[in-house]
Chains A and B, each alone.
Chain A
Amino acid sequence: MTHKSLLTADVRTKKRNAAEARFKAYGLGAIVVAMLALALLLTSVVSTGSSAFKQTYATISVPLTEAKLDKSGTRDLAVMKKVTTIGYTRLLRDGIVTAVEELGLETTLSAKDIGKMLSKEAAATVRNRVLANPEIVGTSVEFKLLTNGRIDGYFKGRVTMESAALDGNTSPEELQLAQQLADAGVFVTTFNWAFLTAPDASDQRPEAAGLGVAILGSLYMMIVVLVLALPIGVAASIYLEEFAPKNRWTDVIEVNISNLAAVPSIVYGILGLAIFINFMKFNQSSPMVGGLVLTLMTLPTIIISTRAALKSVPPSIRDAALGVGASKMQSVFHHVLPLAAPGILTGTIIGLAQALGETAPLLLIGMVAFVREYPAAYSADAGLFGEASTALPVQVFNWTQRADPGFVERASGAIITLLIFLLIMNAIAIFLRRKFERRW
């Protein structure tokens, strides 16, 4: 074959170059689509959820009339507890109406409607404070109280005059008054720490709902998973990779571990329900059971990544250790394991992150329950991590099922919180890998 000039590309070369250019374009296109999807997801979550981190509070002085709260005058808690939140609601109404009158604000609203601008949770807040310090009865005390979800929504832009006109729970007049109160400094919108610390609240009061119990429950579960899955997973991998004879049994085990990693997580939930709750009689909805189920789910991930990390340690290091007379175990623990540590840690953290975001198995073991009490890490009745709790992803699931639009905001806020936790965990994984990575 005779070669033509090098300055003009021949047909074959042109075709090849075109194919390469097309392939690069496809790749770039795929990345653009992926980035757009991610951007869309983040924008939608952040735009609906970021307002969950702000909350409107009313600072009002509440007259704690003795005649209403403690008729006997003895400050006997047993007697005072007989006054329910309904009794307190009247006092709160008096408080806010007084505030409106003192400011000289004009409104056509009835006292009852003005009182409704405060959250149903506010009465409980005041009652708890009074029961904790009975001596404040008879005085006027300034409280920082939650406003109603609609009022709160108005200051976050979720509720508008138009939507209020169609809403049975609020009215444009209420919003106008709220605006005047905000201008006067009575209603203030601040950062919402309570969202991260408060427990869940009932359907009628989204403004009071928080992630406290869910974060605590998730934390307990992560502790259980870490304490169980890391040592078991690492020990199993070391045995399989370094000590186990290579025969049919270990092959079967290996194949099964890979298969377990692909088992749908809800199956682990059924397993957990059958074994840990029905058979072993652990408490329902407890972080212990959740942690055990998530441990089962995370183990294959940890084992697979640990084995990969151990495999990537060059065999020459093992030879070197054995060559100077180290025992098998010394060669593993002195040389192989430290070199595999970054990979093991990364795998473990990614496994934990996966467990943190898992919802399905937790639904089956009853962690969807409505929990108002912070679970104790240990109690005599329930044992270690045995008290009912909920978890972050389950809380999201829970809130998305509720009717009040306030919960949409809360659910998105919870997703943001969950994403931040996952981001932190992945950042730690990357940091550890960079820090301990060695070259040889």
Chain B
Amino acid sequence: MKDTQMTNAKISTKGVQVHYADTHAIKDVSVEIADKTVTAFIGPSGCGKSTFLRCINRMNDTIDSCRVTGDIRIEGEDIYDVKVDPVQLRAKVGMVFQKPNPFPKSIYDNVAYGPKIHGLARNKAELDEIVEKSLRKAALWNEAKDRLLSPGTGLSGGQQQRLCIARAIATAPEILLMDEPCSALDPIATAQVEELIDELQKSFSVVIVTHSMQQAARVSQKTAFFHLGNLVEYGDTDKIFTNPEDPRTESYISGRIG
């Protein structure tokens, strides 16, 4: 595997290993992820790309049998240090999940929940502002502004996913992790979310796991290809898709494996 060096690495990992009970899910992954770019993780099912993504905001902590070793740093700070509280980390590293999972509450409450528990707003007016800003960024404001108090679960699938994105960015994170955010959406909703990712890239470092190579090619600047827990290849998206170095990457991209 080629070591990639970058000047403005937002996230840098070295020798990350993840074990679930008996399985070795991630084998020695080192990667540097740049700020204000979209980085796509691609690979066949079970290759460990989602697991690796979940290491970055320590969501794997919730799985009892999961052990993470190695070094993951965000802006040079080791996030697995004993002094790090995952709660603070997750406010800084937002996450959007595969299946839209709004809270069964109003649209407003969905977005306001994060800022509320982190004390980001001093009063109702500020909170209203955060909610509006987040919904605007998530391109949901026009559709939702007249029904802020109706339940978030009543929205369509694509709207729900954008609501989840709004909820994630409401806590003003610096990094946004997206775990196959479009896999449960139809092509139109997917297009909307992709457009949104393009927009979000200006303010966040976005890491997206995707099953669709076309999507990776469309939205990302950097692509990492995972296979059987190994990071096979990592580099500029254009290069990976047009001129991959590793034969496995080539096979996957051309549809021979995976």
Contact = CB atoms under 8 A, between A and B. Distances in A.
Contact of B102 (A245, A318, A320, A322): A320
Contacts of A76: none
Interface stretch (B9-17, B57-65, B124-132): B57-65
Contacts of A314: 101
B89 to A, nearest CB: 8
A326 B97 contact: no
Interface in B42-95: 57, 59, 62, 64, 87-91, 94-95
Interface size class, chain A? 20 to 34
A319 B117 contact: no
Contact of A439 (B103, B113, B153): B153
B90 A324 contact: yes
B101 A325 contact: no
Contacts, number: 66
A334 B105 CA distance: 11
B59 A322 contact: yes
Interface string B90-119: 110011110101111000000001100110
A335 B87 contact: no
Contacts of B96: 323
* Among A317, A320, A321, residue most surrounded by chain B Cβ atoms (within 10 Å): A320
A249 interface: no
B162 interface: no
Nearest to A339: B104
A330 interface: yes
Interface string A329-341: 0100011000100
B87 A316 contact: no
B167 interface: yes
Contacts of B31: none
A325 B97 contact: no
A246 B62 CA distance: 12
A279 interface: no
B117 A325 contact: yes
Contacts of A335: 103
Contacts of B91: 324-325
A323 B170 CA distance: 12
A320 B62 contact: no
A177 B57 CA distance: 91
Contact of A324 (B62, B64, B167): B167
Interface string A295-329: 00000000000000000001011111111111100
A326 B117 contact: yes
Interface in B120-153: 153
A321 to B, nearest CB: 8
A324 B114 contact: yes
A320 B59 contact: no
Contacts of A4: none
Contacts of A321: 103, 113
B168 interface: yes
Contact of B90 (A245, A325, A438): A325
Most buried by B among A317, A324, A327: A324
B168 A324 contact: yes
B164 interface: yes
Nearest to A326: B117
Contacts of A326: 87, 113, 117
B1 to A, nearest CB: 29
A317 B152 CA distance: 13
A323 B103 contact: no
B109 to A, nearest CB: 10
Contact of A319 (B101, B113, B118, B153): B101
B246 to A, nearest CB: 33
Contact of B113 (A318, A334, A440): A334
B237 interface: no
B205 interface: no
A319 B118 CA distance: 17
B117 A330 contact: yes
Contacts of B113: 321, 324, 326, 334
B159 interface: no
A186 B59 CA distance: 82
B37 interface: no
A246 B114 CA distance: 29
Given A245-B64, A319-B97, A339-B104, A324 B171 contact: yes
A325 B87 contact: yes
A320 B103 contact: yes
10 contacts: A246-B64, A319-B62, A320-B101, A320-B102, A322-B62, A323-B97, A323-B168, A324-B113, A325-B87, A335-B103
Given A319-B101, A320-B167, 13 more contacts: A318-B62, A319-B97, A320-B97, A322-B59, A323-B90, A323-B94, A324-B94, A324-B168, A325-B87, A325-B90, A325-B117, A439-B153, A440-B104
By Cβ-Cβ distance, the 6 closest A-B pairs, closest first, are: A325-B91, A316-B101, A324-B114, A325-B90, A323-B95, A320-B101
